[in-house]
C-alpha cells in the first residue's frame, strides 16, 4: 500500500481535502490526522473491521483500548451510556481540548475499541483539522497516536511516515502539532475521579472542578490491576537507549570518555556547552508547556542520529513538570 500525503492548512483546512479523508473513514479505512496534542490514526468508531485496521497498522496489542473522538459534548451519548455530572463539568471547562474522560461504554461502540471493557475513553479535540474531519464524517472517530506501538508519539507528519508509511492509505499533514504530548486522561466513571495519564492540563485546574484526584499527588506511573492499560512502562520510547540524569552534562561527559556517541537533551537555561566530538546537544525551553511542545520532536531527532545513547537532564520535580516527567520515565530503557 502506498501512503498518500495531503498538506492541509492547520488553521483553515480545505473542505475538499477533508472530504477525501472523510470518504476513506466512512468507507471503513484509516487516516492519520493532526490533533492539538499529537497525530492520531483514526477510523470510524462503530465499525469494528475499520478499527481492527488501526490495531494492525500499529501492531497494537488488543488489550490496549482506544480514545474515541467526537465533534462536541452533544455527541457523547453516541459513545457513552452515561455522562455523569462531574464529567460534564470537566467537559464544559476543557473541551474542545486535550482532556480524555473515561465513561461507561455505549452499546454502539464495539468491544474492540475498549479492549473488551465496559468503559470508553472520549475526547473533543481542539485542532481545526481534527474538528473539520469529525464534522465532515458525522460519526465518532476512534484514534490512538499514529505511531507503531510502544514507539514515540508523532508530532509531525514525517514522524507518522517514519512509523506507518506503506501501512496506511492517507495522512493529512497539518504541520507540527502544538501541544506535543498526549491528552490528560481522567477516569470519571465512578464517584472517585482518578488521573490515569497526566497531560498539558495542570492537575490543580482539574481539581478545582472535581476535587482531589486519586494518583494526582505522586509523580509516578500508576500501578496495580486497575491502571490504564496504555500506562504500562516502556511506552513512547525511542529505539536508542535513553536514560535520565540529574546532571545530564556530567553523565554525557562520562559516557563520551568511554568512546560512546551521546545525545544530550537539556534545558536551555544551563551555560553554553562546548562542542565535543561524539556529542549532539539539543536544548528545550524551561517553560513546561514549551518543553512539552518540543519533547517528542527532539527525541525523534536524537533517535535518528545514530547515537549509542540518549541522556536527558531531568526537569525539576515540581507539579508543573508532572506530564513531562511522566513521558520521560516511560522513554527510559
For residue 55, the tally of other CB atoms under 10 A from its CB is 19
Applying the rule CB under 6 A, the residues between 242 and 261 that interact with ligand TXA are none
CA nearest 24: which of 177, 171, 174? 171
Tell me which stretch binds Mg ion (CB under 5 A): 143-151, 199-207, 247-255, 293-301: 143-151
CB-facing half-sphere around the CA of 281: CA atoms within 13 A = 20
If one asks whether residue 228 binds ligand TXA (CB under 6 A), the answer comes out as yes
CA nearest 231: which of 240, 242, 220, 241? 220
For residue 91, the tally of other CB atoms under 10 A from its CB is 21
Instruction: Name the binder of 183 from Mg ion, ligand TXA, none, CB < 5-8 A by kind.
Output: ligand TXA
Nearer to ligand TXA (CB atom), residue 190 or residue 287: 190
The three-state secondary structure class of 26 is: helix
E-only strand ranges, the chain: 4-7, 31-34, 39-44, 67-69, 99-104, 119-123, 141-142, 170-173, 184-187, 194-197, 242-245, 262-267, 279-284, 309-313
- Burial (CB < 10 A; 0-12, 13-18, 19+), residue 180, is buried
If one asks whether residue 37 binds Mg ion (CB under 5 A), the answer comes out as no
Question: By CB under 6 A, how many residues form the interface with ligand TXA?
Answer: 28
CB of 221 closer than 8 Å to CB of 330: yes
Minimum Å distance from CB 263 to ligand TXA?
A: 24
CA nearest 276: which of 297, 254, 292? 254
Q: What is the CA radius of gyration of the chain?
A: 20
E-only strand ranges, 11-134: 31-34, 39-44, 67-69, 99-104, 119-123
Minimum Å distance from CB 132 to Mg ion?
A: 23
Instruction: Please pick, from the candidates 44, 47, 64, 240, the single residue that binds ligand TXA as defined by CB under 6 A.
Output: 64
Instruction: Please pick, from the candidates 47, 119, 155, 163, the single residue that binds ligand TXA as defined by CB under 6 A.
Output: 119
Instruction: Please pick, from the candidates 145, 155, 184, 240, the single residue that binds Mg ion as defined by CB under 5 A.
Output: 145
If one asks whether residue 64 binds Mg ion (CB under 5 A), the answer comes out as no
If one asks whether residue 117 binds ligand TXA (CB under 6 A), the answer comes out as yes
Applying the rule CB under 6 A, the residues between 159 and 198 that interact with ligand TXA are 182-183, 185, 196-197
Instruction: Name the binder of 97 from ligand TXA, Mg ion, none, CB < 5-8 A by kind.
Output: none
Nearer to ligand TXA (CB atom), residue 66 or residue 262: 66
Applying the rule CB under 6 A, the residues between 15 and 54 that interact with ligand TXA are 35, 37-38, 40
Minimum Å distance from CB 320 to Mg ion?
A: 23
Tell me which stretch binds Mg ion (CB under 5 A): 84-92, 138-146, 188-196, 324-332: 138-146
CB of 41 closer than 8 Å to CB of 24: no
If one asks whether residue 155 binds ligand TXA (CB under 6 A), the answer comes out as no
Minimum Å distance from CB 51 to ligand TXA?
A: 12
Which residues of the shown chain bind ligand TXA in the complex (CB under 6 A)?
A: 35, 37-38, 40, 64-67, 98, 100, 102, 114, 117, 119-121, 143-145, 182-183, 185, 196-197, 228-231
The contact set with Mg ion (CB under 5 A) reads: 145
Amino acid at each position: 500500500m502506498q501512503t498518500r500525503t495531503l498538506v492541509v492548512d492547520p488553521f483553515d483546512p480545505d473542505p475538499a481535502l477533508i472530504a477525501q479523508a472523510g470518504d476513506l473513514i466512512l468507507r471503513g479505512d484509516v487516516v492519520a490526522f493532526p490533533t492539538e496534542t499529537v497525530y492520531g490514526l483514526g477510523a470510524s468508531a462503530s465499525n469494528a473491521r475499520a478499527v481492527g485496521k488501526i490495531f494492525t497498522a500499529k501492531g497494537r496489542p488488543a488489550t490496549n483500548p482506544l480514545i474515541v473522538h467526537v465533534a462536541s459534548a452533544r455527541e457523547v451519548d453516541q459513545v457513552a451510556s452515561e455522562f455523569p455530572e462531574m464529567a460534564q463539568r470537566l467537559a464544559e471547562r476543557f473541551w474542545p481540548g486535550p482532556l480524555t474522560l473515561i465513561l461507561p461504554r455505549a452499546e454502539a461502540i464495539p468491544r474492540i475499541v475498549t479492549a473488551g471493557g465496559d468503559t470508553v475513553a472520549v475526547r473533543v479535540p481542539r485542532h481545526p483539522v481534527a474538528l473539520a474531519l469529525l464534522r465532515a464524517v458525522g460519526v465518532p472517530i476512534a484514534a490512538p497516536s499514529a505511531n507503531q506501538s510502544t514507539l514515540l508519539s508523532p508530532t509531525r507528519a514525517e514522524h507518522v511516515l517514519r512509523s506507518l508509511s506503506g501501512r496506511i492509505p492517507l495522512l493529512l499533514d497539518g504541520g507540527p502539532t502544538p501541544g506535543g504530548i498526549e491528552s490528560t486522561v481522567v477516569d470519571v466513571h465512578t464517584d472517585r475521579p482518578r488521573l490515569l495519564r497526566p497531560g498539558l492540563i495542570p492537575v490543580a485546574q482539574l481539581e478545582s472542578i472535581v476535587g482531589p484526584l486519586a494518583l494526582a499527588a505522586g509523580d509516578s506511573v500508576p500501578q496495580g490491576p486497575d491502571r490504564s492499560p496504555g500506562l504500562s512502562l516502556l511506552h513512547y520510547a525511542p529505539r536508542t537507549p535513553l536514560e535520565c540524569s540529574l546532571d545530564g552534562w556530567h553523565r554525557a561527559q562520562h559516557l563520551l570518555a568511554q568512546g560512546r556517541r551521546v545525545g544530550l537533551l537539556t534545558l536551555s537555561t544551563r551555560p553554553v556547552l562546548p562542542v565535543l566530538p561524539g556529542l549532539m546537544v539539543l536544548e528545550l525551553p524551561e517553560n513546561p508547556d514549551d518543553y512539552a511542545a518540543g519533547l517528542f520532536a527532539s527525541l525523534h531527532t536524537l533517535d535518528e542520529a545514530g547515537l549509542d545513547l540518549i541522556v536527558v537532564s531531568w526537569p525539576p520535580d515540581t507539579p508543573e513538570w508532572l506530564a513531562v516527567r511522566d513521558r520521560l520515565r516511560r522513554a527510559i530503557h
